[in-house]
Amino acid sequence: MCCSQRLIPYVLPVLLLVLGANVQAQETEPNNSCSDAQEQGLIPLPTTIIGELNYINDVSDVDFFRIQATPGEQLQADLAGVSTGVGTLQDPFLGAFDSNCAELEVRNDGGIGYDARVIVEVPDNGVIILGVTTCCDNEFDGVEYEAVGSYVLTIDTLRLIGSVYGRLVDAFDGSPLLGDKPPYPYPTVELRRCSGVFCDLSAIAIESPDEFGGFSFDGVSGQLTAGVYRLVGYAAGYRQSTSTQFTVNEFDNIEFGDFAITPFPIQFGAVQTCEILMAGGVCKYGIELTNQQPDRYQGEAWSTMQLFGPEVFFQKTSFQVGKAGTTNPKPQRLNLKQGQSEILEFQFRVPSNVPEGSGVCASIAVGSKPYPQFSGQGEQTIFCANFQSDGNAVVLQ
């Protein structure tokens, strides 16, 4: 059902401000089924349709639109609601169908937040029907799912960017972050789409830097459309960093340059593992810590063990481990000058009746004074081990 007469004078000016000059059409009833789709004809691109889903005879509304476009052309349709602030539809669900109402593509997400995006090729007869409902109404009939709220449907030619590329580097010394050398920080760069002040909380593309710290997002292979983006970078031992928003137009190749992420004051280094036997015994392990900040670092470090059951991974127990074991597992104090390193050692006793197939993981956490447990400066897994039937345990660093 289209917007009520009471709402249109207030909603439409706001949408015009958000969407610019793309508003071309208003949704009108009846258009509740694919066979009764609202006829839009040959549309200019981009075209924006403002609509609203409501109840019709106690059944949630579904809207359909029949459009014509050039056969073989790639189209991008975006269904926006609450996530981008242009409507009240909570979780948009968008489908593309051919002239016989056969499904071409259905998407729940793909846009900003919960908004939906469909990329589809126009069939040979030039007709596409777009269906608007809410997640997860796969039948597009409004029977089992409550589809209520206003929305904005935008249809445009698929406009792909060229690429976005750069280097992920250490903010302290500018060195590239590599995932194939110790201490294996496993660096990652995410590309996230934005609309106004709203940006996706999840990535639309993820890259691991190469041996030179370089990353590159390819527009064609990744189906990355023209728009506003931002980068998110992170690695083990580093704080997550978010770039400012930047615009990438169709065919643009954007050189971002160096994307710097800041290391935690304490860098985790070489690991010392132990041999764990099913017959039991003491496991002594350790890890090297280095102060990377220019000032003296004072804080504490502590290790935690997690034991996983053989049948249910999430059936686990956790306990703290100290230098002398589990009896008095006090955190170990850190007082390191710039560049100074120290190896912290921990131990725990393995009983002889650990069930076969169980697993154990040791981790370390570091915090700064005066309240280390409330001022975390990093956490990392030291090693994991799986208890095997041959009486030994396979240690995975």
Residue carrying the six token digits 């915090």? 367
Topology match between the domains 8-157 and 163-261: no
Rounded Cα distance between 70 and 179, Å, is: 46
pLDDT of residue 277: 59
pLDDT at 201: 82
* Whole-prediction pTM: 0.71
- In the chain, domain spans: 8-157, 163-261, 266-396
Which architecture characterizes domain 266-396 according to CATH? Sandwich (2.60)
Smallest Cα–Cα separation from 274: which of 348, 359, 366, 364?
Answer: 348
Q: What is the pLDDT of residue 110?
A: 78
pLDDT tens across the length of the chain (397 residues): 444 333 433 344 444 444 444 658 899 999 999 999 999 999 999 999 999 998 877 778 999 999 999 999 999 999 999 888 889 999 999 999 999 999 999 998 877 778 899 999 999 999 999 999 999 999 999 888 888 899 999 999 999 999 999 999 999 889 999 876 666 678 999 999 998 788 888 899 999 999 899 999 999 999 999 999 999 999 987 889 999 999 999 999 999 999 999 988 998 888 988 876 556 678 899 999 999 888 999 999 999 999 887 765 556 789 999 998 888 899 999 999 999 999 999 998 888 777 777 888 899 999 999 999 999 888 888 988 877 666 555 555 5
Transcribe 36-86 into DSSP letters. GPEEEEE--SSEEEEEEE-EETTEE--EEEEEE--TT-EEEEEEE-GGGTS
Q: Taking the mean position of all CA atoms in its chain, how far away is CA 189?
A: 11
- The strand pairing partners of 206, in sequence order, are 190
CATH class of 8-157: mainly beta
| Alpha helix (H) residue ranges in the chain | 8-19
Angle at 393 between CA 389 and CA 397, to 5 degrees: 145
State CA 162 to chain mean position distance.
22
Q: What are 230's strand-pairing partners?
A: 192
User: What is the model's pLDDT at position 311?
Assistant: 67
Q: Helix, strand, or coil here: 116?
A: strand
Q: How far is it, in rounded angstroms, from Cα 91 to Cα 108? A: 8
Token representation of residue 329 = 């597992």
How far apart are the C-alpha atoms of 17 and 226, rounded to whole Å? Answer: 20
Fold of 163-261: Immunoglobulin-like (2.60.40)
CB neighbourhood size of 49 (10 A): 26
**Beta strand pairing call for 38-42 and 63-68:** parallel
* Residue 313: other Cβ atoms inside 10 A: 9
pLDDT at 12: 42
End-to-end CA distance of the chain: 58
How much is the pLDDT for 385?
82
Which residue in this structure is represented by tokens 């259905």?
106
**What count of other Cβ atoms lies within 10 Å of the Cβ of residue 336?**
19
What pLDDT sits at residue 173?
Answer: 86
Residue 150: partners with Cβ closer than 8 Å, 6 or more residues away: 3, 7, 11, 50, 51, 52, 53, 81, 87, 88, 89
Residue with tokens 């949630």: 60
Q: What is the pLDDT of residue 3?
A: 40
What confidence score (pLDDT) does residue 202 get?
85
